[in-house]
Amino acid sequence: MVVKMRQNVGAGTSKKNRQTSANGKAIKLSCELLRIFITEAVQRAATIAEAEGASKIEETHLERILPQLLLDF
């Protein structure tokens, strides 16, 4: 599977339209990386929420884990 996207380049450039394509394996790999990233974010936020005695993950829990999560990935 190949995905092609059209991207308009700004008005003063020589190329009006530029096609970009991604191979199917690259798309699957990107999706898997995103799935793992989100799973890890939820698990870390749940740990923080549990430590605080909260029954739900809130925005603040995600905000607290995000800097370290981004460094880890």
Write down the domain spans for the chain.
2-72
Six token digits for residue 37: 């990233």
Q: Are 38 and 62 in contact (CB under 8 A)?
A: no
How confident is the model at residue 69, as a pLDDT?
A: 96
Asked whether 17 and 8 are in contact (CB, 8 A), the reply is yes
d(CA 22, CA 11): 25
Q: What gap in Å lies between CA 56 and CA 10, rounded to an integer?
A: 45
pLDDT in tens, the chain (73 residues): 555 555 555 555 556 677 888 898 999 999 999 999 999 999 999 999 999 999 999 999 999 999 999 999 8
